[in-house]
Structure 1
Amino acid sequence: MKRFLSFLICLIVLLFWSSCRKDFEFSPSTGNLEFQRDTIYLDTVFTNIGSSTYNLKVYNRSDDDIVIPTIQLENGVNSFYRLNVDGTTGLAGAQEGKFFENVELLANDSLFIFIETTIDISTLSTLENQFLYTDRILFDSGNNQQDVDLVTLVKDAVFIYANRDEDTGIIETLTFDVDGDGTPDETTLQGRFLENDELNFTNEKPYVIYGYAGIGNGQTLTMEAGARVHFHANSGIIVTEGGTLNINGELSTDQDVLENEVILEGDRLEPLFSDVPGQWGTIWLFNGSENNTINYATIKNATIAVLAEGNQEAPNDKLTITNSQIYNSSAFGLLGRATSITGENVVINNSGQSSFAGTLGGQYNFTHCTIANYWNSSFRQFPALLLNDFVVDENNTVFTNTTEAEFTNCIIYGNDNPELLLENEGNDFTFKFTNCLIRFDNDNLEGTGNYNFNDITFYEDIVRNVDPDFENPFENLMRIGEDSGANSLALPLMPSGTDLLNNPRNSTQPDAGAYESVVFEED
């Protein structure tokens, strides 16, 4: 009985409210809409690659419920933009996403318009491989018409992508000798080997790579100063046996533009993606590739920026990397596996695991490098610098007896402690840190095993746990200031040389790391 009375009371209240409420009466809009902004800038896109989704909020500030007779793109069905108005795509057919009728908007309420674009630059008149494409969203018509401008910069590019079988839709995968037995192996890596006429990347147009671009036996891929290389998700470069990669950037005069450096990053050009880790795969210097060089390059937002493996006892280094920066790698910045790497004036920062890891042994020589890790996107398991001579595979430990590592005039630091991990299973595990600034403050490890900092066989003239005074490491601004613990720490080298910015190093008391110290300007 009580439940029935409660129901009856609720029904009476509902009927009373309904009788007091007038039905919604929508009046035509009178050109008094307000907009979140009057121009929508859809950030730079590559030709034929879809943009991110942008939004526009439209307000009805009046006390009347209104209906907007039409919302449409000025260029109509020929527009490269497409709209979604509060979850609807408008008229069907060719006008879908282009034309909307009788859009209702309640008093003192708002609606969202979502905007995307995909533009074919070949249908436009371009200037220097780029074009500013514009259109307008028109609200109503005649004297009541209002508009919002749409603006997008479109870039032309050289696209490198794997072939797709027209009948099956299967995308080509790479086939090469993976296990070193002399027989080509099929892999699951989507991609293809570059043709000989594709082996020179210039600065005339950006390059956009889908899948893995392979460099085969006897081939050398050269990237000229100022080249721009963009990778789609799960893409990268793989240099197989007998192949070589030479990145030949040069010093830039404008450190904001880096006009002469070679820049390798993802293919999303919107500012929102400028520092997002893990947007693409890796530059993979496979076992048997040789004489790879990287000079004046910025490599950012990869999973593993550079993976070098094998050839640790070759007459020449597997990789020589100089005057370069590696940032925002979701796993490792520079990962070596039983290989040989020489680095000078290199900065690595913000890696989901280690910024530099030399694993399964190898030969490593780094001078005036800044190996830092101020990753703050998730928990990381490893320190900024990791060295070991083994790998655990299905509960079996495989190790090598050769690890030779020298770090001279380097900064090894980060937002964790300690930022150095040395692990060995074999006996031939030699290393030396000379005139380095290192973050290591761990009473349980200090003085044990590989961490006897008083043994000059392994550690000589090092400084520990003194602030390097980075400009802003969380923003990858890695210059050091006048209060840095790395100041005057380095061992003078002959010739004294220059830092990453081509500043002369102090001939008698140089600074450790990739940069000579500066006095920061106050904001």
Structure 2
Amino acid sequence: MKKTFFIITAVFFLITFSRCKEDGFISDPDALLRFSADTVSFDTVFTTIGSATMYFKIYNPYNKTLKLSTAYIAGGENSFFRMNFDGEPARRVNNIEIPPKDSLFIFVEVTIDPLGVNNPLIVKDSVIFITNGNLQNVKLIAYGQDVHLIKGKILKNTVWEADKPYLIYNSAAVDTGNTLTINPGVQVYLHDRSSLIVWGKLIVNGTSDKPVIFQGDRLEEDYRIIAGQWGTIYIDPISTGNIINYAIIKNSIAGIQIGHPSQNKQPTLQLSNTIIQNISYVGIYAFGADINCYNTILANATYNLVTLLKGGRYNFSHC
């Protein structure tokens, strides 16, 4: 008799517990997730180079647990976008329980294959969420830009045209006895701590309406005026005949470093109609150099706008 009573009691407890657990979930077909954003937009993303990570949050606004049946990137394996769901990388997740009044983070990145076009091209996808039979989505938008990727290269005689931007990764160097010519309107982006090193000669041929721009490769609005995003334009002591005309050099560690404290040779630079700004160290950092600088603006350097050491010849007019 006691044994029978125990079995009945145990069964009753299991049924009651199961009902309580079921009652803890929202089954109302009108119950919907809430989102911190309905669209996640990426600024221009260079092809073959991964984006910064963006995120949004999903909320359960109810007093009971909400079960997310599934969440997935609509484009599946063919999507340019990647999702990290509350710390777990996945293109699809299933049966996720969101406690009452709680939330989860969704992190999104995008890497875009070369597009075969010179102008930015919009890339779209979405993250689909299904709860209690309801389908919701958050849109994903990015602008893909093909680039000339210059990754740790030694450059021979070459000319850069303004067909599409140039992205320098792991620095690039103009070889001794060779010239890099950069024509009007070229945009040069440099990755974190990357520099353009000149052993040969650099000729920058910008114009007033089409300046040559050197800047970091973080294109989000928050980075628009942040200093220290890339290294410098470094002109080696053996380099002579350099010309920079109508350029904008911004957001670097040093704008231009010319010469080196350990060497006594005199590199030369003609710098004109140029803006050097938002620099985390020094705008022009020269060691025994020969610089003729005309009609140039230097602004917003953390230490000095100009530092001239080890002698040299310097002429600054209308600067």
User: What TM-score comes out, normalization by structure 1 length?
Assistant: 0.54
**1:118 is the counterpart of 2:103:** no
- Structure 2 distance, partners of 1:361, 1:48, is 45
- Structure 2 distance, partners of 1:156, 1:233, is 19
Do 1:29 and 1:144's aligned partners in 2 also have CA atoms closer than 8 Å? Answer: no
Deviant stretches of 4+, over 6 Å? 310-314
- Cα offset, 1:157, TM superposition: 0.5
RMSD of the TM alignment (CA)?
A: 2.3
Question: Which of 197, 204, 207 lines up with 1:247 in the alignment?
Answer: 204
Alignment of 1:434-449 (within 5 A): none
- Structure 2 distance, partners of 1:299, 1:44, is 20
- Cα offset, 1:325, TM superposition: 0.8
Alignment of 1:100-111 (within 5 A): 100-111=93-104
Do 1:283 and 1:306's aligned partners in 2 also have CA atoms closer than 8 Å? Answer: yes
Q: What is the match of residue 472 of structure 1?
A: none
Do 1:312 and 1:362's aligned partners in 2 also have CA atoms closer than 8 Å? Answer: no
- Cα offset, 1:308, TM superposition: 1.0
- Cα offset, 1:209, TM superposition: 1.1
Q: What is the match of residue 319 of structure 1?
A: 269
Q: What is the match of residue 140 of structure 1?
A: 130
One-letter amino acid of the structure 2 residue matched with residue 288 of structure 1:
I
- Structure 1 distance, partners of 2:246, 2:107, is 40
**1:222 is the counterpart of 2:181:** yes
- Per-residue CA distance 1:420-474 (angstroms, 9 max, x = gap): xxxxxxxxxxxxxxxxxxxxxxxxxxxxxxxxxxxxxxxxxxxxxxxxxxxxxxx
Q: What is the match of residue 153 of structure 1?
A: 143
Alignment of 1:332-411 (within 5 A): 332-369=282-319
- Per-residue CA distance 1:3-41 (angstroms, 9 max, x = gap): xxxxxxxxxxxxxxxx9xx76822357451121121110
Do 1:63 and 1:108's aligned partners in 2 also have CA atoms closer than 8 Å? Answer: yes
Q: 1:239 to 1:25 in 2, by over 3 A?
A: same
- Cα offset, 1:85, TM superposition: 1.8
Do 1:345 and 1:368's aligned partners in 2 also have CA atoms closer than 8 Å? Answer: yes
- Structure 1 distance, partners of 2:265, 2:76, is 64
Do 2:55 and 2:105's aligned partners in 1 also have CA atoms closer than 8 Å? Answer: yes
Q: 1:72 to 1:335 in 2, by over 3 A?
A: same
Alignment of 1:191-210 (within 5 A): 192-196=153-157, 199-210=158-169
Q: What is the match of residue 3 of structure 2?
A: none
- Structure 2 distance, partners of 1:214, 1:67, is 56
- Structure 2 distance, partners of 1:82, 1:112, is 14
The one of the two structures with greater contact order (alpha-carbon pairs below 8 A, sep at least 6) is: 2
Do 1:28 and 1:69's aligned partners in 2 also have CA atoms closer than 8 Å? Answer: no
Do 1:28 and 1:68's aligned partners in 2 also have CA atoms closer than 8 Å? Answer: no
Q: Residue 254 of structure 2 aligns to a residue in which SS?
A: strand
Q: Residue 83 of structure 1 aligns to a residue in which SS?
A: strand
Alignment of 1:167-316 (within 5 A): 192-196=153-157, 199-240=158-199, 243-252=200-209, 260-309=210-259
- Per-residue CA distance 1:344-376 (angstroms, 9 max, x = gap): 22111222221111111112111111xxxxxxx
- Structure 2 distance, partners of 1:220, 1:115, is 41
Do 1:160 and 1:207's aligned partners in 2 also have CA atoms closer than 8 Å? Answer: yes
- Structure 2 distance, partners of 1:141, 1:313, is 71
Q: 1:154 to 1:29 in 2, by over 3 A?
A: farther
Do 1:121 and 1:131's aligned partners in 2 also have CA atoms closer than 8 Å? Answer: no
Q: Residue 303 of structure 1 aligns to a residue in which SS?
A: coil
- Cα offset, 1:137, TM superposition: 0.5
Q: 1:36 to 1:313 in 2, by over 3 A?
A: closer
**1:70 is the counterpart of 2:27:** no
- Cα offset, 1:234, TM superposition: 2.5
Q: Residue 289 of structure 2 aligns to a residue in which SS?
A: strand
**1:98 is the counterpart of 2:91:** yes
% identical aligned pairs: 36
- Cα offset, 1:272, TM superposition: 2.2
Q: Residue 365 of structure 1 aligns to a residue in which SS?
A: strand
- Cα offset, 1:295, TM superposition: 1.0
- Cα offset, 1:247, TM superposition: 0.8
- Cα offset, 1:118, TM superposition: 1.2
User: What TM-score comes out, normalization by structure 2 length?
Assistant: 0.86
- Structure 2 distance, partners of 1:234, 1:131, is 28
Unaligned segments of structure 2, at least 5 residues: 1-16
Do 1:312 and 1:340's aligned partners in 2 also have CA atoms closer than 8 Å? Answer: no
- Cα offset, 1:304, TM superposition: 1.4
